[in-house]
Amino acid sequence: MIKNILVAQDGSVNGKAALDYSMWLSKKFGAGLIGLHVVDVVSLEGPFLHDLSGSLGFEPFLNFSTRMREALESRGKTILSSFEEACAENKAACESQIAFGIVANEICDKAKVADLVVVGRRGVNAQFEYGLLGSTTESVLRRSPKPVLVVPEKFTEPKNPLLAYDGSPNASKAMGSAAEWAKTLGLTLTVLTASATGEEEALLIEARQYLKPYGIEANFVSKKGDAPLVIESYYKDNGHDLLFMGTSHHSRLVEMVLGSTTEHVMRTVAGPFFLER
């Protein structure tokens, strides 16, 4: 059950969407929100400032870096103040935290005391990044100790969730979360199995048995074929707007690669997706 939601706040459009989704979940689950803003040390000590110090001299660089830190910290406090105001308007219990470090590292560290991490697909530096996911979001997905919900830049209340189930331990945990969400939100859950090995029906039997005690309405679908492509097309063709899935790799490998299915789906599905690892 979700009782503590960590929501990353960076002042971007995606950060606002992360807050909107978190606020919605807070109301549905009765959960408290933890707003986190990270002052990125890369902005303070990155190549640009190191190059600048070479032309200005060592002492001016130190002064410039200090002023930059103060400016970024002030901006972070303003962002968190807006977060607290939004929570107050929506009567959501909240606390805010500011941290200094590498953004993904700090989010993953603070995730230890949360049940769910909510992040935008891309962050404040989206214009400098390529692809559908920002580098910070990808790093959080690989390393977070808790489930992560990645959201698009505009909030839309999910009505048609899909669970991609492959029988792996993390997919089983994702199924538990999907069941809790479907029950709490009063939604019908579709369970999809996709395989080229003929195991689809056996996996659906597992899913039926697991979900039966929850008393939720569920649809069960099996498809043969390449899992990443099957999940992508089924999601889009059937109007799904929330995807649950789990990684199927051991933790050391997940830090380097999420797996072909996960990597493909999270780059091609435009709506929010919940990842268990």
pLDDT of residue 89: 95
Q: In angstroms, how far apart are the furthest CA atoms of the chain?
A: 69
219 within 8 A of 189, measured Cβ to Cβ: yes
What confidence tens digit (pLDDT) does each residue in 26-42 have? 999 999 999 999 998 77
Instruction: State the pLDDT at residue 71.
Output: 85
Average pLDDT for residues 211-240, to the nearest whole number?
Answer: 93
Q: What is the pLDDT of residues 230-246, one digit of tens each?
A: 999 999 999 999 999 99
Here the tokens at position 122 are 């891309």
Identify the pLDDT of residue 63.
54
pLDDT for 220: 97
Task: Find the mean pLDDT for residues 85-102.
Answer: 95
Q: Is 4 a residue whose pLDDT tops 90? A: yes
Greatest mean pLDDT range, 35-44, 140-149, 195-204, 255-264: 140-149
Q: What is the pLDDT of residue 46?
A: 53
Contacts of 118 (CB under 8 A, 6+ apart): 5, 6, 7, 8, 18, 21, 22, 25, 148, 149, 151
Give the model's pLDDT for residue 228: 86
Tokens of 119: 């992040």
Q: Kindly provide the b/e burial profile for residues 219-243, where b requires at least 16 CB atoms within 10 angstroms of the residue's own CB.
A: ebebbeeebbebbbebbeeeebbbb
- Domains along the sequence of the chain with CATH: 4-151 (3.40.50.12370), 161-245+254-271 (3.40.50.620)
Q: What pLDDT shows up at residue 86?
A: 96
pLDDT of residue 270: 87
With a cut of 60, say whether residue 277 has pLDDT above it.
yes
**Neighbour tally for 258: CB within 10 Å:** 21
pLDDT score, position 18:
97
Entry field: residues in the chain: 277
pLDDT value of position 124 = 46
Percent of all residues in the chain with a pLDDT value above 70, rounded to a whole number: 82
Mean pLDDT (the chain) is 85
From residue 156, alpha-carbon distances to 138, 149, 191, 269, 270 in Å are 22, 14, 21, 15, 12
Looking at residue 211, its pLDDT comes to 97
pLDDT at 6: 98
User: Which position has the higher pLDDT, 198 or 12?
Assistant: 12
